[in-house]
Structure 1
Amino acid sequence: MDKYKQSLSTSTRPFSQPFCRRLMKPRINYKNISLISRFISQRGKILSRRVNKFTLKQQQLITIAIKQARILSLLPFIKFDII
């Protein structure tokens, strides 16, 4: 049981930070569609923190920016594939 708890507490793969925190804050904005659209799947869903390799704070900022852009009709809620 102790070995099981130890394996859960230590992460084998820590989250890497693809963006510098100093540069991230001014760039995460609902108006910056080119940045925000990279974190949305082909279906229009917000990609998870594990896929983005973001910290919790960065993922929250991206999520808020995506939701604001959707409400203002800058991003679609659902992406339709044109065949």
Structure 2
Amino acid sequence: MDKSKQPFHKPKRSFRMPLPRIRPGDRIDYRNMSLINRFVSEQGKILPRRVSKLTLRQQRLMTIAIKQARILSSLPFINGEIQFERTKSIFRATGPRTIKK
């Protein structure tokens, strides 16, 4: 068969196992703050599964542990830093307004 007339074949991607971010000895618990902080973003949000590379069961347990840590106030609900600061506008005229007739 001519190469130009061959049907299109999608190349197969190799399957890779996700790298485990939780070691076998790590316990998912609300008191294990060093583990919990790896799965919380800078804004204080819980990282999704596709980012954290956890299994479904691990993600569920991690979510429960993070929520328990927040309720017991060992982990803040949001990051306390101010991200946006209001600055004075430089485009407005500071003098009196004049109406054009």
Normalised to the residue count of structure 2, the TM-score between the two structures is 0.60
Q: Relative to structure 1, is the Cα distance of residues 14 and 64 closer, same or farther in structure 2, using a 3 angstrom cutoff?
A: farther
| Map of 1:60 onto structure 2 | 60
> Which of 8, 15, 18 is 1:16 aligned to?
18
Higher helix proportion: 1
Q: Which has the larger radius of gyration?
A: 2
Count the aligned residue pairs: 71
RMSD of aligned alpha carbons: 2.3
Query: Is the Cα contact below 8 Å between 1:15 and 1:53 reproduced in 2?
Result: no
Go from structure 1 to structure 2 and tell me whether the alpha carbon gap of 1:50 and 1:12 turns closer, same or farther (over 3 Å shift). Answer: farther
* Alignment partners' CA distance in 1, 2:53 and 2:39: 11
Kindly report structure 1 stretches of 4+ aligned residues shifted beyond 6 Å. none
Gaps of at least 5 residues in structure 1 are 1-10
Give the whole-Å Cα distance in 2 for the aligned partners of 1:45 and 1:12.
Answer: 31
Deviation at 1:17, TM superposition (A): 4.7
Q: Which amino acid aligns with 1:35?
A: L
Taking CA–CA contacts closer than 8 Å with sequence separation of 6 or more, which of the two structures ends up with the larger relative contact order?
A: 1
Q: Counterpart of 1:74?
A: 74
Structure 2: gaps spanning 5 or more residues: 1-12, 84-101
Percent identity of the aligned residues? 57
